[in-house]
Every structure is written in structure tokens, then in C-alpha cells.
Amino acid sequence: MSCTNPNLWYGKNRTHHSQFSDSEFVEAFERGSLEPKLFNHEAHLRLAWIYIQNHGEQIAIEKSCSSIKHFDAIHGKGDKFHTTITVAAVKVVHHFIKKSKSNTFADFIEEFPNLKTAFKEILNQHYELNIFSSDGARSAYIAPDKLPFN
């Protein structure tokens, strides 16, 4: 897919990731040309949702990790990527997809708003360890020590 309108990819005229189709969103994100301010928590969840829908859980984990690392390297100092949170997010989204009746991400996030509003609390159900501040959890995936994801 080729883009002749740079505003489509940079999001300069867009204020929310939902203004992109799924394929536009993924392509812009993977290229690193998505406006960084558009890649918020909900956009992270959307990326996981799209990757899971298109590739299944394991490939979604791999693609999420590599593309978020790449985006962080382009738009930051390369120090924001967190392995455990990224893998856990894909696993949590996958868990809810299995319960979902939704065919779009917008419907999915409306069906499970706690993914957006109480994500940290969801992860705290699985982890005794504070993965958000653990340097080890940042660099390598740490499996849940309280409740497994599946």
C-alpha cells in the first residue's frame, strides 16, 4: 500500500488513532510515521488486538515487542519499551478476545472498558511483583507470580 498523502501517515490532521483504519494504523505505526502523541494506552491495546486478530497470540507478542521497540527507538531514547508489560498486554487482550462478541476494536474496547480504565489493576491481579518498576521485567518477560493469564 503506497501513500501519496503524508498527512495520512503522520496523523497531523488527526487527533486520535481511531481516525485510521486498522491497516493504516498498523502501517503507520510500523513505519514509525504515526504521530507519537496518537500512540497512547488505548492505541497499544488496539495494536495488540489487530495483531492477535491477524496473526494469533504468539506472533502478536513478537510483532508487538519488535514494532514498539522500533517506534520507541525512532521517537524517543529507546528506553520506554517494557517487555513484561507488552507481553502481558497482548496476553490480557487475547484473554478478553476469547470472551468477546465484538468484530471491531471500537466495539471490543466498549465491551471491556476496564482494559482502558483499570489496566494496572488487571495486571496486579496476576503479579505480586511490581512489574511497572522492576528493571528485570523491563528487559525480559516475567511470567505472572499470582495468577496465570490463561
Residue 38 within a domain: yes
Q: What are phi and psi of 20, to 5 degrees?
A: -105, 145
Residue 144 within a domain: no
The count of domains in the chain is 1
pLDDT tens for residues 4-22?
Answer: 444 444 556 889 999 999 9
Residue 45 within a domain: yes
Residue 60 within a domain: yes
Give the structural domain span for 30: 6-139
Residue 109 within a domain: yes
pLDDT tens for residues 74-118?
Answer: 998 888 899 999 999 999 999 999 999 999 999 999 999 999 999
This prediction's pTM: 0.90
The rounded distance, in Å, linking the Cα atoms of 69 and 88 is 15
Residue 149 within a domain: no
Residue 26 within a domain: yes
User: CB burial class (10 A; 0-12, 13-18, 19+) of residue 42?
Assistant: middle
Inter-residue contact 22 to 47 (CB < 8 Å): no
| Total residue length of the chain | 150
